[in-house]
Structure 1
Amino acid sequence: MLRKYKNFFSVLIQWIVFGSIIGIIVGSTTTFLLETNDYLGDEIREKRDWLIFLLPFGGVLIGYIYMNYGKVFLNYTLNDTAKLNNLVIDSVHEKKEVPLRMGPIVYFGTFITVLFGGSTGREGAAVQMGGSVAAAVNKFFKVNRLDKKVLMMSGISAGFGAAFGAPITGAVFGMEMAALGKLKFEALVPCLTASFVAHYVTTVAWEHKHEEFIIQTVPEITLMTFIIVILLSIIFSLISVLYCQLRHGIEKFSEKLFNKNHMKRAFFGGVVIVVLTLMVSSQDYNGRGLQMIEQSFIEDVPPFAFLAKLIFTAVTIGTGFVGGEAIPLFFIGATLGNSLHSFIDLPLSFLAALGLIAVFCGGSNTPIAAFLLAMEMFDGKGLEYFFVACIVSYLFSGHHGLWPSQKIYEPKSRLYNTPLAETIENVEQKK
């Protein structure tokens, strides 16, 4: 019995130590990512509109780096860092390994994309850096095979928790991102440790201040309001499916058109974004778009802003540029909720918040993390409504999502008739 407890506490301490190491490094690197992105996007790009015309050439540079330095053979397997979050998910499932160079490459690619006006977020780079750091810890300490998967999840948790200032969400996101219908709870301790340490390193040690979105008013709990929330959540989930399908479609089309030449794909995508920007005569849909997200909580925004951002981001990511997709999903959901305010008699900020969370949930297939994000982001307001919205959005988005490598351990419903242990990519191909 004593030996069992000794072994238990030995493993527990290892997880806490490894989670802390990952959290400290990822918290610091994520702060660098956030601060640099803010500077490049707010201080440089927004004051120099002409930089958008350099986006195609920035795409060529990103493509060159990924084609020449992004592919690494490890254990007789080709690991392509251009697969981004999908490579991190595959590493959790032991299909691939995350090269140590993945973090620096994705940071550089994200900076180029943001500087020249690509429509992306930043959490994708933080998650991939988390995976890169976790891989380095695994290699340095020669971690055993079972714990490698756990620490990879910890890297994901650290990146997400630090990027959004949501440590509880980050802990669960690391466990929930890799697979639908299954949570590996033994990873809770290192994921929680990594996420909280990374969060406090970012906010306390480096004093980074995250953006805040405030719900002014939450409607009273009534049956009619719940019915409206359910109907709206279905709409938000379908919008998330539209984005995912469009982005995947553009990716497949551009790869086929240019024979998987990343440089040509990104150049073409950059030209399309320049043309779209000139067509709308605005750069509101380039970059992260945080200002319009904030605006959607307090006043009206253009009624079709959500559709413009959806197209801009699908083209940017689908043609090989780099960055996160959570903030674009926030933008799409918040502005769509804002637009629906004209037809629905519910508080504006509440509708924007509901859309932000529900669209993210539908795209990421992480209902628990999405609900926790709502609680952390909006100080626990409207928890009943957000819980329902996350469940409905998760169910009605079907087996679609941002990351084709997500494995479906359990179908969302028997109505979908999906085999066990399939990936989203395989399910979509069979359809």
Structure 2
Amino acid sequence: MKSKYFYLFILSIVALPIGFIIACFDALFANILINITNFRIDHFYFLIPFLAPVGLVIVYCYQKYGGNIKQGMTLIFNAAFDDNIDIPLRLVPFAMISTWLTHLFGGSAGRTGVSMQIGATISSNINKFFKSKLKQKDLICIGIASGFTAMFQTPLAGAIFAVEVMEVGKINYQALIPCLIAAYTSRETVSFFGLKTFNPIIDNLPHFSFSNILSICIISIIFGIAGLGFSSLMSTSKKEFPKILPNSLVRVVVLGSILSLILILAHQGRYSGLGSNLINLSFSGKQIYSYDFLLKAALTILTLSIGYQGGEVTPLYSIGTSLGIMLAPLFGLPLYFSASLGYAAVFSSASNTLIAPMLIGAETFGFNMLPYFIICISISYFCNFNKSIYDGQRCTKKVESPN
């Protein structure tokens, strides 16, 4: 018993400097990405034709020099369950530079998966450099909490996501306090470096009437199906594209060329990058098309499944937000209220996580929204049939026999 609490004490002490170091890396990563995004918007037509050649460079470098780091988040998950699996430090510059290039030339991708990979890589290498006996899984959880929080400055959600996402149905409670320490440290650090938060105010909330609750339940099912569709199509495309075009270099050139053409034709780059433009449009009363969520989903899946680098989280937020805007008038719900539910619920379904998305919604839009998020996300989560954007996620859910 005494050794257990001593281990937790050491892990908590270590979490503070780890959170600070990871936040410094992620602040650098995010700030450069912001500048790259602004540059791409100003020079879109000049840059987008080079998307396929840049994809060729990315895929070639990962094949030639990447080794196991091309597994991305799957490597992170596998390393958490096997102390003998090493996460090379070269993953950090590879992931950062390739994501910058993907965004610079117009690819549709996120950033949070990369920030979590950066965090997990740095934290997992603590054992290697200091010859400590800390569990690699706990260190990786700390790294994920720091990386996730650095992007959205939602420390409660970041900490819970880190201990929840590894194994469906099982939370790593041992790492929770260290993850909270790392997450809050990360938030304060990235705030110091000037990263801004996204916190729109949702002041038009529907009453808890039977008709409104019924409407929320129905759109929650739709959000869940949207998340399921995204994760399923992502998994399928990663398996099927290599069958159609077995050579990965040919694949990224051919499909990258098609991708760049679609991005030009589809509102001249509206679906390039993170998708934060769709989120901002949704919460500022600007034009959202009924097909925005579909095109953003399809182009993000295409981008990430053929070799470009980035994450899925922010695109999922934008997919859920724009879908929520479309569904709101159909079910008599306030626009921004419905968009905020979609923001968190589609991510919940796609990532196969339950508690963290509720906190994401509450920390982003206000804790007065928490009862609605609990209802919505509880439903959307159970509509995903255990599918996830994270291939390395372990599942401990068991279906009981009726006998």
TM-score, length basis structure 1: 0.89
Alignment partner for residue 21 of structure 1, among 17, 41, 51? 17
Code of the residue aligned with 1:53 in structure 2: it is: P
Do structure 1's residue 159 and structure 2's residue 155 form an aligned pair? no
- Give the secondary-structure state (helix, strand or coil) at the position aligned to 1:121: coil
- Report the Cα offset of residue 110 of structure 1: 0.5
Q: Alpha-carbon deviations, 1:177-206, whole Å to 9, x = none?
A: 1111000100112211111111111113x2
Alignment partner for residue 327 of structure 1, among 292, 309, 314? 314
- Give the secondary-structure state (helix, strand or coil) at the position aligned to 1:396: coil
CA 264–414 in structure 1, closer or farther in 2 if over 3 Å, else same: farther
Alignment partner for residue 219 of structure 1, among 184, 206, 211? 206
Q: Alpha-carbon deviations, 1:27-82, whole Å to 9, x = none?
A: 1011111101100002x1000122111110110111111101110xxxxxxxx211
Code of the residue aligned with 1:199 in structure 2: it is: R
CA 238–324 in structure 1, closer or farther in 2 if over 3 Å, else same: same
5 Å matches for 1:252-331?
252-259=239-246, 261-299=247-285, 300-331=287-318
1:336 aligns with 323
Mind listing any 5+ residue stretches in structure 2 that lack a counterpart? none
CA 53–150 in structure 1, closer or farther in 2 if over 3 Å, else same: same
- Give the secondary-structure state (helix, strand or coil) at the position aligned to 1:209: coil
Question: RMSD of the TM alignment (CA)?
Answer: 1.7
Higher relative contact order (CA 8 A, sep 6+): 2
Q: Alpha-carbon deviations, 1:279-312, whole Å to 9, x = none?
A: 3242111111212211112324111100110111
Contact 1:123 1:159 in 2 (8 A): yes
Code of the residue aligned with 2:42 in structure 1: it is: K
Residue identity over aligned pairs, in percent, reads: 30
- Give the secondary-structure state (helix, strand or coil) at the position aligned to 1:143: coil
CA 231–102 in structure 1, closer or farther in 2 if over 3 Å, else same: same
- Report the Cα offset of residue 414 of structure 1: 4.7
Q: Report the number of matched residues.
A: 399
Contact 1:89 1:405 in 2 (8 A): yes
Do structure 1's residue 129 and structure 2's residue 118 form an aligned pair? yes
- Single out whichever of 182-191 and 87-96 deviates more from structure 2: 87-96
1:138 aligns with 127
Distance of 1:53 and 1:402 partners within structure 2: 29
TM-score, length basis structure 2: 0.95
- Report the Cα offset of residue 272 of structure 1: 2.0
Distance of 2:124 and 2:312 partners within structure 1: 23
Contact 1:66 1:262 in 2 (8 A): no
- Report the Cα offset of residue 216 of structure 1: 3.6
1:10 aligns with 6
Distance of 1:192 and 1:183 partners within structure 2: 14
Distance of 1:190 and 1:138 partners within structure 2: 16
Alignment partner for residue 398 of structure 1, among 370, 385, 388? 385
- Single out whichever of 372-381 and 264-273 deviates more from structure 2: 264-273
Do structure 1's residue 55 and structure 2's residue 43 form an aligned pair? no
Do structure 1's residue 382 and structure 2's residue 377 form an aligned pair? no
Contact 2:77 2:393 in 1 (8 A): yes
5 Å matches for 1:36-51?
36-42=32-38, 44-50=39-45, 51=47
Distance of 2:234 and 2:5 partners within structure 1: 46
- Single out whichever of 291-300 and 391-400 deviates more from structure 2: 291-300
Contact 2:164 2:171 in 1 (8 A): yes
1:424 aligns with none
Distance of 2:234 and 2:244 partners within structure 1: 15
Q: Alpha-carbon deviations, 1:386-415, whole Å to 9, x = none?
A: 00111111111111110121111114x659
Mind listing any 5+ residue stretches in structure 1 that lack a counterpart? 72-79, 418-431
Alignment partner for residue 63 of structure 2, among 64, 67, 70? 67
